[in-house]
Amino acid sequence: MKKNLLLTPGPTQIPPYLCAELGKPIIHHRTPQFQQAIKEVIDGLKFVMQTKNDVFLFASSGTGAMEASVCNLLSAGDKAICVEGGKFGERWTEICKAYGVMPVVIKVAWGKDVNPQELKKVLDANKDAKVVFITHCETSTGVTTNVKAVGEIVKDTNAVLVVDSISGLGVVDLKTDEWHADVVVSASHKGFMLPPGVSFVSVSPKAYKLVEACKTPRYYFDFRKAKKAIEKIDTPFTPAIGIIIALQESIKRFKTEGLDPIFNYYAKLAKGARAAAKALGLTLFPDESCMSNALTTINVPAGIDGEKVMKIMRDTYGVSVAGGQGDELKGKVIRMAHMGCVDEYDVLTGISCLEKVLKELGYQFTLGSGVAAAQKVFNE
Ligand SMILES: *Cc1c(COP(=O)(O)O)cnc(C)c1O
């Protein structure tokens, strides 16, 4: 009868009211009923993305929409700037290489944000670069990129700014139009509290010019097909019908509660999780200046294996957090997400479980001190 509390940065917990939506009998997608769902979902996504740009839906996980952004904007031999501050930044570079695109990589130390002035220098030195790829919330490190600062620099160049906001959208503010994010990629299984299976992409007119000029062969992920279909409130192929229907309900929350209260809510959860870690005598991995409100990355104490902490939390106590990724962080951190429908009591449970496991593994601290620190933040 073990429970499984998901505090992982994707997939995230699905609240009961959305499970009920997902359990409904399927309907056909070429119907007025489903057309209404598409319309509401597209309008709702534009609201959350804070954009007037076109939004396309695909039946894929988030990476599918990342790949779509590469193969619709760039042709083999083109140059693109990839900002790499973690696993997901590296994914942009890998996808570019798969398509014969030449990546100019800006390496950012893990846990830090890209320096906009450095990006400016690289753009000045590579005036033929067609795209700049960044990651809004770098889920592997727990950093939020200053998209606004990056957008200010990219907007005055010919390059198109593409933002992976798969774990950021609906959790951390992203003013797509105001900040000049030409393409924003996201998906159903993080901030939107649903299973993986739907990805979405917003595309600006500046980006669409590249789509039309692009010579890369594409079929399913063709933005031109998606644009034609969405103009008729349709999708080119069978969409992930059940998830799109549930997405209608998930999006309602953003409209009823408003974006800023929701972003503040996650900021408070993050503040509680950080305070708890510090009260336990632990340090946080990312720089204070760019810590993400979507997840908290905690350094495990010296001499304790982070993978072991994560596995005991999950397999013995039913609390799932993520471990570290890559040579840099494997075994060294745990990542606790507070996105989607995570609430204060979930964070308290996560911290309490972390305390229990650290105690078992011999780390010295006062039991309950992390929970107390988080409670204090939540009662402010
Ligand atoms: C989860 C995540 C992805 C990957 O998405 P998949 O759905 O696994 O394809 C990409 N980028 C970021 C920042 C993520 O958090």
- 189 CA: nearest ligand 1 atom: 7
What pLDDT digit, counting tens, does each position of 204-216 carry? 999 999 999 999 9
Check whether residue 239 and residue 269 sit in a common domain. no
Q: How many angstroms does the Cα of residue 279 sit away from the middle of ligand 1? A: 31
Backbone angles phi, psi at 186, to 5 degrees: -150, -175
User: Residue 2's pLDDT band (boundaries 50, 70, 90)?
Assistant: confident
Check whether residue 236 and residue 338 sit in a common domain. no
21 three-class SS:
helix
Domain tally, the chain: 2
Could you list the residue range(s) of the whole structural domain that residue 362 is in?
5-10+259-378
- Which residues neighbour 380 within 8 Å (Cβ) at sequence distance 6 or greater? none
HSE, CB side, 13 Å, CA atoms: give it for residue 6.
16
Domain boundary among 231, 256, 281: 256
- Which residues neighbour 3 within 8 Å (Cβ) at sequence distance 6 or greater? 318
Sort residue 200 into left (φ over 0), alpha (ψ -120 to 50) or beta.
beta
Check whether residue 265 and residue 135 sit in a common domain. no
Check whether residue 175 and residue 275 sit in a common domain. no
User: Residue 368's pLDDT band (boundaries 50, 70, 90)?
Assistant: very high
Q: What is the CATH number of the domain that holds 135?
A: 3.40.640.10
Q: What is the CATH number of the domain that holds 353?
A: 3.90.1150.10
Check whether residue 248 and residue 154 sit in a common domain. yes
Q: How many angstroms does the Cα of residue 9 sit away from the middle of ligand 1? A: 9
Check whether residue 238 and residue 265 sit in a common domain. no
Q: How many angstroms does the Cα of residue 63 sit away from the middle of ligand 1? A: 6
Check whether residue 33 and residue 76 sit in a common domain. yes
What stretch of H or E contains 352?
helix 344-360
Check whether residue 249 and residue 263 sit in a common domain. no
Q: Which residue's alpha carbon is at the smallest distance from atom 6 of ligand 1?
A: 62
Check whether residue 85 and residue 131 sit in a common domain. yes
CB 105 within 8 A of CB 126: no
Q: How many angstroms does the Cα of residue 90 sit away from the middle of ligand 1? A: 12
What pLDDT digit, counting tens, does each position of 209-260 carry? 999 999 999 999 999 999 999 999 999 999 999 999 999 999 999 999 999 9
Among 295, 293, 277, 280, which Cα is nearest to 337's?
295
Q: How many angstroms does the Cα of residue 267 sit away from the middle of ligand 1? A: 21
Check whether residue 48 and residue 86 sit in a common domain. yes
Domain boundary among 221, 256, 291: 256
Ligand 1 site residues, Cβ closer than 6 angstroms: 9-10, 61-63, 88, 135, 137, 139, 164, 166-167, 187, 196
Check whether residue 208 and residue 109 sit in a common domain. yes
Residue 1 above 80 pLDDT? no
Return the best residue to mutate from 95, 139, 293, 335 for the ligand 1 pocket (most ligand atoms within 8 A of CB): 139
Give me the DSSP letters along 154-197: HTTSSPEEEEE-TTTTTTS---TTTTT-SEEEEETTSTT-S-S-
pTM for the whole structure: 0.98
- The strand pair at 295-299 and 333-337 is best described as antiparallel
CB 244 within 8 A of CB 38: yes
What pLDDT digit, counting tens, does each position of 304-344 carry? 999 999 999 999 999 999 999 999 999 999 999 999 999 99
Sheet with 54-58: strands ordered across: 54-58, 199-203, 183-187, 160-164, 129-135, 79-84, 102-107
Domain boundary among 240, 256, 272: 256
User: Residue 375's pLDDT band (boundaries 50, 70, 90)?
Assistant: very high
Check whether residue 128 and residue 209 sit in a common domain. yes
